[in-house]
Amino acid sequence: MTQAQLAQGNSPLLAVRDVSVVFGGIIALNGVSFNMHKGNILGLIGPNGAGKTTLFNCLSRLYQPSSGDILMEGASILTRPPHRIAEIGIGRTFQNVALFPNLSVLDNVRVGTHARTSSDIISDSLKLTWVRRSEADVNKKVHEILDYLDLEDVAHTTVSGLPFGTQKRVELARALAADPKILLLDEPAGGLNHEEVYVLGDLIRKLRDERHLTVLLVEHHMGLVMSIADHVVALNFGRKLAEGTPAQVQADPDVIKAYLGSKDQ
Amino acid sequence: MSAVEEVVTEAPAVEAVPKRAMTLGVGTSLVVLAALVLAPLFVKNFIIFQMTMLLIYGLAVLALNILTGGSGQFSLGQSAFYAVGAYTSAILMEHVGMNYALTLPIAGIICFGFGFLFGQPALRLSGVYLALATFALATAMPQLLKLGYFEHWTGGVQGLVVTKPDAPFGLPMSQDMWLYYFTLAITIGIYIASVNLLRSRSGRAFMAIRDNEIAASAMGVDVALYKTLAFGVSAGITGVAGGLGAIAVQFVAPDGYTITLAISLFLGMVVGGVGWLPGSIVGSAFIIFVPNIAEGISKGLSGAVFGVLLFLVIFLVPHGARQVAIVAQQMLGKLKKN
C-alpha cells in the first residue's frame, strides 16, 4: 500500500486545490478548490463560460493549470500525461459524444479496457497464448458491461449508425470498462429529451450504488443536478460562487443572482 | 466551442471499414489460397515472375493499408522504406555473403527502426502535411543511395546485381517457381500476422487513434507510441517486400525506387479499398497489370489510357475492390434466397 492510500482515511478521493487557469490574458479559472468524497455525486454547475469545461479538462489532463494542484487519493495528477489518467481510475465521457465512429459497439468498449491490459505488437501479431487469455478476459468483462447497460442487442453494430441516446450509453460503457473510481460526466443530459434525462438520472445513481463509483457531473440541466447530486459546486466567471447541498446552493443569493440577474444591476 | 472540442468532433481523415469487415471469410480465403498455390503449375516462367511481383507489391500495399486504413496516417514515402529493404538484402547477400532468406528479417527490422524514427517527427503532422513530409522522404531516397560516400556498399548509380537463389534440397523446380512459393509463404505469414495485429489490443488502439485521438488518449492509449509503432510496422513489412523484390528482380538501383513507386503503392491501396487487407492483392494487380493493358490498347498514349482506366475505377467503385466484394456478396445472398 502506498503512503497516499494509508493516509486516505477520511480524506477526499479527489481534491481540487486552488486551481487557476490562464489563457493569454483571460483568467478562465481563479483559485477554485473543492473535495470529492468516495461514493458521492458532485454536481458542478454554472452559467455558460463559468469555467466548468475548463475545470473538467484540467481533471482529464487536457489543460495544464497555471497554479494549484489536483490530488487523486493524495497524489498529484498534474505530472501525468493525458493517457496515464485512466490507469489511476479517472474515467470520462465527452460533451458531444466522442466515440470511435467506425468501430462496433463491442470494439469501442474493448478500447475502454486498454488502460487495464497490456500487450505488445509481436505477441499480438502472433496471437500468443497469454494474449488469447487476456482477450478472453476482456470479452467477458465487455459483455458483462454491455449486458448491464442493455447494449447487447447492438453489440456488433457500428456506432456511427446508432441513435444519440444509445451512443451516450456506449460512451458510458466504454468509460466503465476501464474500472474507474471516479467518473467524470461532461453534460450527459445534453441532447436528451425530458424522459431520457429522467432515465439517465436513475442510471447515474445506480452506477454510484451498484458499482461504487464517485461521480462528477458537469451539467446545465438544473433539474437533473438538483435531483441526484449529494453535493453541488457552483462556478461563475472562473470563481467558486457557492458550495453545499443542492438545497443550500439553490437558496444561495449569489447563485440566484448569477442565473437570474438582480434588481440592483 | 474550445479548440479541444473542435478536435473531438472533427471527422476522421480516412473513411475506414469496421474491423469485422477487414478480412475474408474462411471459404473465400481457401479458394484464393488454392488459386495462388496451383496457378504457377500451369504457366510460363515469366508469368510466375509476374505473380511473384504481384505478391511482393501486395505486401507493400498491405503495409500501407495498416498505416492508413489502420491508424489513419498517410504516407507517400513507402518507396523509401522499400528501397532500404531492397538495399539491405542486396548488400547483405552480395557483400557479406549471407543467405537470402536470412536477409529478409534483417531488412524488416532495419526498416521497422527507420519507420519508427521517421514516425517521431511525423507525430506533429497530420493529413496532407504528413503526406507531404513522407513525399519529401521518397524524393530524397534515390539521391541518398547515389551518394559517393556509400558507393562502396551501394554501387552508386550502377546499383548492385543480386544472384537469384536455386531451389533448396534439390527440389525439381525452376528458380522462378521456387522464389514464387518462397514469397507466397512469407506473404501468407505476414498477412495472418497483420490480421491478428489489427484484431488485437494494439490494432484497436490504432483504429481508436484513427477515429478520435482525444478519446483514445482518455482511454489510456499512448497516441504518440501507437502512431510511431504503426509507422514502424508498416515500414518493416515494406522492407521485407523490398528485400524480396531485390531477390526477384536480381538487381537494385537508386532509380528503381522513386516517388513513382510510392504513388503506385498509394494507388494500389485506394483501388484495393482503404483498410480492407485482402484488397491489397487486387490493388497490387492493378498497379502491375493495368499499365500493361493500357500499353496494349495504345502504345503511344499508354499513360492517357491508364489515366482513363484509373478514372473509371475511381468513378465507378470509389471504395475499390472492397466495394465490389460487398456487392458480390449481396448478390450471392439474393441468389441463395431465390
Query: How do the residues of chain B divide into helix, strand and coil, expressed in percent and rounded to 5?
Result: 80, 0, 20
| Interface contact A83-B233, CB threshold 8 A | no
| Interface contact B20-A104, CB threshold 8 A | yes
Distance from the A78 Cα atom to the nearest Cα atom in chain B, whole angstroms: 15
pLDDT exceeds cutoff 50 at B123: yes
Predicted pLDDT of residue A50: 85
pLDDT exceeds cutoff 60 at A116: yes
| Interface contact A103-B2, CB threshold 8 A | no
Predicted pLDDT of residue A215: 95
pLDDT exceeds cutoff 70 at A263: no
Hey, how many other C-beta atoms are within 10 angstroms of the C-beta on B302? 16
Q: Considering only CB atoms, which chain A residues are within 8 Å of B12?
A: 101-102
Q: Does B117 touch chain A (CB under 8 A)?
A: no
B322 within some domain:
no
pLDDT in tens, B141-172: 988 888 877 777 777 778 888 888 877 887 77
* Delimiting residues of CATH 3.40.50.300 domain(s) in chain A: 1-6+13-89+180-265
Q: Considering only CB atoms, which chain A residues are within 8 Å of B212?
A: 98-101
pLDDT in tens, B32-77: 888 888 888 888 888 899 999 999 999 999 999 999 999 999 889 9
SS3 string of B86-151?
A: HHHHHHHHHHHCCCHHHHHHHHHHHHHHHHHHHHHHHCCCCHHHHHHHHHHHHHHHHHHHHCHHHH
Q: Does B166 touch chain A (CB under 8 A)?
A: no
Q: Which amino acid is located at A203 in the chain?
A: L
Q: Which of A83, A114, A125 comes nearest B197 by C-beta?
A: A125
Predicted pLDDT of residue B6: 39
Q: Considering only CB atoms, which chain B residues are within 8 Å of A122?
A: none
- In this prediction the ipTM stands at 0.88
Q: Considering only CB atoms, which chain A residues are within 8 Å of B108?
A: none
pLDDT exceeds cutoff 70 at B19: no
- Number of domains chain B is built from: 1
pLDDT in tens, A41-99: 999 998 888 888 889 889 988 889 999 999 999 899 999 999 999 999 999 999 888 99
Handedness of CA B148, B131, B307, B235 (dihedral sign): positive
Q: Mapping DSSP to helix (H, G, I), strand (E, B) and coil, where does residue B77 land?
A: coil
Q: Does B207 touch chain A (CB under 8 A)?
A: yes
Q: Mapping DSSP to helix (H, G, I), strand (E, B) and coil, where does residue B222 land?
A: coil
Distance CA B76, CA B14 (A): 15
**Chains A–B, number of C-beta pairs less than 8 Å apart:** 127
The answer to whether A90 and B207 are in contact (CB under 8 A) is no
Q: Which of A103, A121, A134 comes nearest B197 by C-beta?
A: A121
Distance CA A46, CA A259 (A): 8
Hey, how many other C-beta atoms are within 10 angstroms of the C-beta on B292? 12
Distance from the B164 Cα atom to the nearest Cα atom in chain A, whole angstroms: 30
Distance from the B187 Cα atom to the nearest Cα atom in chain A, whole angstroms: 14
Q: What is the mean pLDDT of residues B3-13?
A: 41
The answer to whether A242 and A252 are in contact (CB under 8 A) is yes
**What is the distance of C-alpha B70 from the center of its chain?**
13
In the block, which residue shows the cell 489515366?
A: B307
Provide, rounded to the nearest whole percent, the portion of chain B with pLDDT above 90: 44
In the block, which residue shows the cell 487513434?
A: B209
B243 within some domain:
yes
Q: What is the mean pLDDT of residues B163-187?
A: 86
| Interface contact A178-B194, CB threshold 8 A | no
Q: Which amino acid is located at B291 in the chain?
A: P
* CATH architecture of the domain formed by A1-6+13-89+180-265: 3-Layer(aba) Sandwich (3.40)
Q: Mapping DSSP to helix (H, G, I), strand (E, B) and coil, where does residue B161 land?
A: strand
| Interface contact B200-A84, CB threshold 8 A | no
| Interface contact B211-A103, CB threshold 8 A | yes
Q: Considering only CB atoms, which chain A residues are within 8 Å of B7?
A: none
The answer to whether B287 and B267 are in contact (CB under 8 A) is yes
B270 within some domain:
no
**Residues of B (221-240) whose Cβ lies below 8 Å from A:** 221-223, 229, 233
Q: Does B210 touch chain A (CB under 8 A)?
A: yes
pLDDT band at A174 (very low <50, low <70, confident <90, very high): very high
B162 within some domain:
yes
**Angle CA A129–A132–A136, to nearest 5:** 140
pLDDT in tens, B211-255: 999 999 999 999 999 999 999 999 999 999 999 999 999 889 888
The CA radius of gyration of chain B, in Å to the nearest whole number, is 20
Q: Considering only CB atoms, which chain A residues are within 8 Å of B196?
A: 124-127
B333 within some domain:
no
B305 within some domain:
no
At A1, list the grid cell.
500500500
Distance CA B67, CA B330 (A): 29
Predicted pLDDT of residue B329: 80
Predicted pLDDT of residue B2: 40
Q: Which of A110, A125, A178 comes nearest B204 by C-beta?
A: A110
Predicted pLDDT of residue B10: 41
Predicted pLDDT of residue B321: 83
Residues 6+ apart with CB under 8 A from B290: B306, B309, B310
In the block, which residue shows the cell 454536481?
A: A43
What residues make up the domain containing B15? 3-257
Q: Considering only CB atoms, which chain B residues are within 8 Å of A124?
A: 196-197, 200-203
Instruction: Supply the mean pLDDT for chain B.
Output: 86
| Interface contact B212-A104, CB threshold 8 A | no
SS3 string of chain A?
A: CCHHHHHHCCCCCEEEEEEEEEECCEEEEEEEEEEECCCCEEEEECCCCCCHHHHHHHHCCCCCCCEEEEEECCEECCCCCHHHCHHHCEEECCCCCCCCCCCEHHHHHHHHCHHHCCCCHHHHHHCCHHHHHHHHHHHHHHHHHHHHCCCHHHCCCEHHHCCHHHHHHHHHHHHHCCCCCEEEEECCCCCCCHHHHHHHHHHHHHHHHHHCCEEEEECCCHHHHHHHCCEEEEEECCEEEEEECHHHHHHCHHHHHHHHCCCCC
